[in-house]
Structures are given as structure tokens and as C-alpha cells.
């Protein structure tokens, strides 16, 4: 056994020594909300108090309490030397020499191979962005928005022109969504502060949403994708049941908040209205984000109230949101809903990401339409990599997966869409069978 022993305070060795030697069993026992340890590069850290001040939010770091967080730590932080200084005061010891570097029987060879791949990718400069790519993308968003307004301001607000304006605005909103995603992942500038600033501009002023809310939710999704209670993207507010486990659990418990056996049909109605309301409420707690968001609504209504009036401009905005939300949902869910969705299984980084994500075939249209999230596998493995480099690492990732027998799934765009519906129907049928017969 290591030197953890009996604790007087969460995470502090009873012996009073500044540093200790610990076993994985001891580390894993510190995984409650008020007592959290984790391991990075065999060093043991007590993050109990620090989690509350963690820039990415307490939940994302808390999801790794009691675990080896080395791979996640490396994946999320583009400047490891900078963040190391925050870790140093939290250091309480290290793993015993007899303990393996990976916890819970993870494949050490696979972990090492992926670390080698990451080193090779860094040496090739694939984490360096081309800022011009992103600012040209920003330019085309502004151009589309301007064109939408010019059409109705110059040629009138008839139904056909209004529909065209709506489609253009929804296109601009969707593309702005992909662009804010780039800056939110710190994948454009070397300085994180610059990424954060432009992220607030794009998601706040161009989309009317909250950067803080997005950060805290989205990094949880990347840290533990498709894992119940840890990935907020699969928290469907009891409107849907997902995967093969949840439907059976709901059915056995006789939970029937919705007719889940028809969820593949009502999915077409859209699913993010409750989530949008929660987003607006959450922004009220962050005044900077609220100011950025209000600037979007001020700009939108200043442009369209003179043309449509108050109620007409509100109707236009909600219709644009309806179109955009469908674009967003179909693109983001085709990579995740058909994949493995379950409770925590403590897999290594590569295996966890590959079992919860898949790719869509590359084409110029697919790249643009999805914001390069057709390379969802590469994005999840290297979340700070600029998207224009995903295709350059894809073949190496595929080769590594083949070496270790991990499925690397690539679909057509239409197959990706169809698999969402097929998966929802399958989950709904599982729920109905459990509800009626178990």
C-alpha cells in the first residue's frame, strides 16, 4: 500500500508530509464531490478546492476524479508549460513504483502508441493554425448576412424573398456556429486570451449565445463523450432515450415521459427549444456574455423591425432559429447518437473517443456544411487542432486503429442522417419492450 492511509482532511496525508506515495486503489477512493484526486503523468494531485476555480468549470475536471487524467490533460491544454504552474501547488505525491502508469487495466501499448502519434503530429506542425482560413470564413458569414438583409430591403418582404432571406440567415448562423467552435477550442491563435476574445464576439455578437455556457458544456462532452451523467449533450431532458442501456432502464422503471417508441418520428420536429430557454437564463448570471448576446439582438432587430415590424421580425428570428437548429442537430448528432452510449466504463482516450464518434466522407461540400466535423474522430482525439488539418492526420489515426483492432467508422452524409433515425427507432423499441414485458 502507498502512503495515503487514513485522511484527516480530504486529500491531505494523515502523516502531515507534503508528498506521499499512493496506489491506484487509494487514488480511486477520492472521487466524491468533496474529495477529488486525479493523476497526471504518474503524479497525484488533490483538486478538491481547485476544481471550483478551474477555468473550464468544476464538472469537466471533476469527471476525472479518482482517475488517470493524463490524456485528457494533454488534449485540452495547448500550452502545457503554462498550465503546469497551476498544478504544482496541488501536488500531493506520486504513484508507487510498483503501480502501472495506466489505471483500470487500460492497454498500455495502445496508450503509448497514441502518445507517439500525438508527438509526431506536433512535430509536423499540425497544431499550428492558418488564421487567414478562419478570417476568410468569418468574411463569408458577414457577406451572407449582408446579402440576406439587402435582398429584403431592396426588393421587398414578399414570401419568396423572406424565405430566401431566412435560408441565408440560417446558413450564416450555422457557419458562425462552426466558427465559434474553432475559437472555443483555442485552435486558432497561440494566445488563449485572443481565442477567448474572438470566441465571445462570434458566439455572442454573431449568434446571441453565451461563451461561458458553451465552454462549460462542450468540454464535458469532449472529456466523456456519450457517457450518461457526464456528457451534457446526451441529457435529452427525458424527451428521448438513447443507446441500448437507457431505454431498458426507463422501461423497467415504467418511465413514460414521452411515447419513446415514436421518438424517431417526433425527432423531426426539433429538440432544442427547452435547451435554448435554459441558455438564455444561464446568460443572466454572466454579465459580459449577456452584453455580447444583447448586441446580437440589438443588431438583428435594428435591421429587421423597420422592414417587418416587431412581431414580423420576431417571427423571422424564430423561423431562422428553427432552420438553424435542424442543421445543427442533424450534423452534430449523426456522429454520436448512432454510436455507443452508456455509463462510465473507464476506457483509454483513443478507445473512448472512437466508440462514441464516427466520420462522414470528405468532400468540399461536407467540409463546409459540417464545419469539418465530418472528421469528428480526429476532432475528438485532438480537440485543439485547427480543423483545416484534420484530413492530414486521418490516415495515421486509421492505421493506429487498425493496429489495435478498434473500428474506425466512415459513412456517407446521407447514411449518417439515416442512422440517427434508425438508432432512435431501435432505442424506442427497446424501451417499449422493457416497458411492457419487464
What Å distances lie between residue 353 and 169, 413, 423, CA to CA? 33, 20, 19
| Residue 271: closest CA among 243, 235, 297 | 235
What Å distances lie between residue 131 and 69, 80, 135, 137, 189, CA to CA? 30, 22, 6, 10, 7
- Confidence bin at 237 (pLDDT 50/70/90): confident
Residues 81 and 179 in one domain: no
Residues 70 and 194 in one domain: no
- Confidence bin at 105 (pLDDT 50/70/90): confident
Residues 185 and 324 in one domain: yes
Q: What is the tally of structural domains in the chain?
A: 2
Is residue 102 within 8 Å of 67, Cβ to Cβ?
Answer: no
Residues 156 and 57 in one domain: no
DSSP state letters, 395-413 = HHHHHHHHHTT----EE-H
Question: Final residue of a domain: which of 331, 359, 380?
Answer: 331
- Confidence bin at 19 (pLDDT 50/70/90): confident
Domain carrying residue 185:
131-228+268-331
Residues 161 and 210 in one domain: yes
Strands 91-95 and 20-22: parallel
Flag whether pLDDT at 283 surpasses 90. no
Residues 38 and 184 in one domain: no
Q: List, for residues 113-165, the tens digit of each pLDDT value.
A: 999 999 999 999 999 999 999 999 999 999 999 999 999 999 999 999 999 99
Reduced to 3 states (helix: H, G, I; strand: E, B; else coil), residue 166 is helix
| Residue 247: closest CA among 422, 429, 418 | 429
Examine residue 183 and state whether it is found in any structural domain, yes or no. yes
Which of these ranges, 56-60, 143-147, 360-364, 429-433, has the smallest mean pLDDT? Answer: 56-60
Q: What is the CATH number of the domain that holds 33?
A: 3.10.120.10
**Distance (Å, whole) CA 418 – CA 426:** 12
C-alpha cell at 194: 485572443
Instruction: Please work out, in degrees rounded to the nearest 5, the angle formed at the alpha carbon of residue 322 by the alpha carbons of 316 and 327.
Output: 130
Residues 52 and 155 in one domain: no
Question: Final residue of a domain: which of 331, 352, 376?
Answer: 331
Examine residue 112 and state whether it is found in any structural domain, yes or no. no
Residue 195, Cβ density class (10 Å: 0-12 exposed, 13-18 middle, ≥19 buried)? buried
Q: CA 342 from chain center: how many Å?
A: 17
267 CB-near residues (< 8 Å, 6+ apart): 240, 420, 421, 424
- Confidence bin at 282 (pLDDT 50/70/90): low
C-alpha cell at 281: 437564463
Residues 278 and 198 in one domain: yes
Residues 148 and 220 in one domain: yes
Phi, psi of 5 (to 5 degrees): 60, -155
Flag whether pLDDT at 8 surpasses 70. no
pTM: 0.92
Residues 142 and 81 in one domain: no
Examine residue 318 and state whether it is found in any structural domain, yes or no. yes
Examine residue 28 and state whether it is found in any structural domain, yes or no. yes
Count of CB atoms situated within 10 Å of the CB of 335: 27
Examine residue 152 and state whether it is found in any structural domain, yes or no. yes
Examine residue 45 and state whether it is found in any structural domain, yes or no. yes
Determine the average pLDDT of the residues in 314-334: 95
Question: Final residue of a domain: which of 308, 331, 354?
Answer: 331
Residues 98 and 192 in one domain: no
Examine residue 296 and state whether it is found in any structural domain, yes or no. yes
Residue pointed to by grid coordinates 508549460: 81
Residues 301 and 202 in one domain: yes
Residues present in the chain in total: 438
Examine residue 245 and state whether it is found in any structural domain, yes or no. no
Amino acid at each position: 500500500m502507498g502512503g495515503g492511509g487514513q485522511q484527516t482532511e480530504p486529500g491531505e496525508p494523515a502523516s502531515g508530509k507534503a508528498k506521499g506515495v499512493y496506489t491506484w486503489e487509494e487514488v480511486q477512493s477520492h472521487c466524491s464531490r468533496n474529495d477529488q484526486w486525479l493523476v497526471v503523468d504518474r503524479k497525484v494531485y488533490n483538486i478538491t478546492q481547485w476544481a471550483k476555480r478551474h477555468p473550464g468549470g468544476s464538472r469537466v475536471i471533476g469527471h476525472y476524479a479518482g482517475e488517470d487524467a493524463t490524456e485528457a490533460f494533454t488534449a485540452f491544454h495547448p500550452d502545457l508549460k503554462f498550465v503546469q504552474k497551476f498544478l504544482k501547488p496541488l501536488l500531493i505525491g506520486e504513484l508507487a513504483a510498483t503501480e502501472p502508469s495506466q489505471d483500470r487495466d487500460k492497454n498500455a501499448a495502445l496508450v503509448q502508441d497514441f502518445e507517439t502519434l500525438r508527438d509526431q503530429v506536433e512535430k509536423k506542425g499540425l497544431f499550428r493554425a492558418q488564421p487567414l482560413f478562419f478570417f476568410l470564413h468569418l468574411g463569408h458569414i458577414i457577406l451572407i448576412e449582408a446579402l440576406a438583409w439587402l435582398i429584403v430591403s431592396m426588393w421587398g418582404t414578399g414570401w419568396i424573398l423572406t424565405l430566401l432571406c431566412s435560408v441565408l440567415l440560417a446558413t450564416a448562423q450555422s457557419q458562425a456556429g462552426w466558427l465559434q467552435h474553432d475559437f472555443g477550442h483555442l485552435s486558432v491563435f497561440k494566445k488563449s486570451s485572443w481565442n477567448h476574445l474572438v470566441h465571445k464576439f462570434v458566439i455572442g455578437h454573431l449568434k446571441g449565445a453565451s461563451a461561458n455556457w458553451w465552454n462549460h458544456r462542450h468540454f464535458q462532452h469532449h472529456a466523456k463523450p456519450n457517457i450518461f451523467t457526464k456528457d451534457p449533450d446526451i441529457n435529452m431532458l427525458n424527451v428521448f432515450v438513447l443507446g441500448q442501456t437507457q431505454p431498458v432502464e426507463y422501461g423497467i422503471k415504467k418511465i413514460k415521459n414521452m411515447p419513446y417508441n415514436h421518438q424517431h418520428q417526433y425527432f423531426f420536429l426539433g429538440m432544442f427549444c427547452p435547451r435554448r430557454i435554459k441558455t438564455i437564463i444561464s446568460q443572466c448570471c454572466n454579465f459580459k456574455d449577456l452584453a455580447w448576446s444583447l448586441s446580437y439582438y440589438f443588431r438583428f432587430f435594428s435591421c429587421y423591425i423597420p422592414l417587418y415590424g416587431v412581431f414580423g421580425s420576431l417571427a423571422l428570428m424564430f423561423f431562422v432559429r428553427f432552420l438553424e437548429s435542424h442543421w445543427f442537430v442533424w450534423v452534430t448528432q449523426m456522429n454520436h447518437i448512432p454510436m455507443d452510449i452508456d455509463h462510465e466504463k473507464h476506457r483509454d482516450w483513443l478507445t473512448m473517443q472512437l466508440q462514441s464518434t464516427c466520420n462522414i466522407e470528405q468532400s468540399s461540400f461536407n467540409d463546409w456544411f459540417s464545419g469539418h466535423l465530418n472528421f469528428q474522430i480526429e476532432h475528438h482525439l485532438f480537440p485543439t487542432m485547427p480543423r483545416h488539418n484534420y484530413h492530414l492526420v486521418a490516415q495515421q489515426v486509421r492505421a493506429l486503429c487498425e493496429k489495435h483492432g478498434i473500428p474506425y467508422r466512415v459513412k456517407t452524409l446521407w447514411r449518417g442522417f439515416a442512422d440517427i433515425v434508425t438508432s432512435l427507432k431501435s432505442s424506442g423499441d427497446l424501451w417499449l419492450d422493457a416497458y411492457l414485458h419487464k
